[in-house]
Amino acid sequence: MFSVIVPVGPTATDLQRLSALLESLRRHERPSDIQLILIDDARRARLKAGHTPGWGSMEVVRTPVWKSRRPDGYSAMTAGTICGLRAASPDARFILKLDTDALVIGPFSEQLAQAFAGDPRLGILGSYDRTCTGSTRDWSVWEPALRRATRRWSLRSPRKAAAARALLDGARASGEYQVGAHCLGGAYAVSAALARRRDLLRWEPWIRTGIGEDVVMGVLCAAAGLRMRSMTAVGEPFGLAHVGLPGSPEWLLERGHSIVHAVKDRDPTIEARLRARLQARPS
């Protein structure tokens, strides 16, 4: 059994994308083996919790950041993802986080479970230091934001800044962490060991910092004494890019990736065609 976390944005388009994503997940993995955790990222509740036919279980988590004043563009995703991890079943072999503009195009669960089982020090798998195109990922853009969020004279709450600083210091103390390092946020897998670190899985220190949820997860992973790794080679699950797809649907299918991002397009007809072409692989 494994858990899947999906943050669902506030628009009707986000709900449509959620439906397409869950259909793709059903097609390639056994729903009865999945604990589905939906993050309802809207000011008014839209999604219903409870056991649903087919899925092992389904839970809905309301994004708590809306109770805060003036959240930035990243706060809801950070708070929702961390709350989703805290809601994951203790029996889950791993937790997969998927954005609604990701798509499942092949089976992945056994490959991810075996990777985590083979290396107890792994905390997050995804597109880490390498993309599926072979390019090196650059995290340096996030270093200034992390330094601002953790400085002693931060304009935010001194208590929250101090908590964030303690986590960043813990990450640096691991000896392997580079400031800003993370797995690309469109889709990544979290180990059961990291999900159990409730002492680290707190969203409050990161509100209104302007720091992406994937970058926060990189800090928490290193602070837990765990490491991140790419699974982006031929035959490995992740074929991701920050904007758009990293290659044509045919190229992604030929390489054997099973989780891709980002399918969304401003033109809904283009997005629909991309989804149809990516689902060409037999289930």
- Residue 124 identity: I
- DSSP code of residue 121: T
Question: What is the C-alpha separation between 97 and 26, in angstroms, rounded?
Answer: 16
pLDDT at residue 68 is higher than 80: no
Strand partners of residue 232: none
Is 231 part of any domain? yes
Q: Is 119 inside a domain boundary? A: yes
Judge whether 194 lies within some domain: yes
101: pLDDT confidence band, cut at 50, 70 and 90? very high
Residue 282 domain-assigned?
no
The whole-angstrom separation of Cα 14 and Cα 41 is 10
5 DSSP β-pair partners: 37, 97
In a domain, 276, yes or no: no
Confidence of residue 104 (pLDDT cuts 50, 70, 90): very high
Mean pLDDT score, 65-71: 60
C-alpha span between 191 and 216 (Å, rounded): 16
Q: What is the pLDDT of residues 216-259, one digit of tens each?
A: 999 999 999 999 999 999 999 999 999 999 999 999 999 999 99
Q: CATH number of the domain at 26, please.
A: 3.90.550
pLDDT above 90: percentage of residues in the chain: 73
Segments forming the whole domain that contains residue 110: 2-263
Please give the tally of structural domains in the chain: 1
Query: Which tens digit of pLDDT belongs to each residue from 189-205?
Result: 999 999 999 999 999 99
pLDDT value of position 217: 98
Judge whether 132 lies within some domain: yes
Domain assignment present for 215? yes
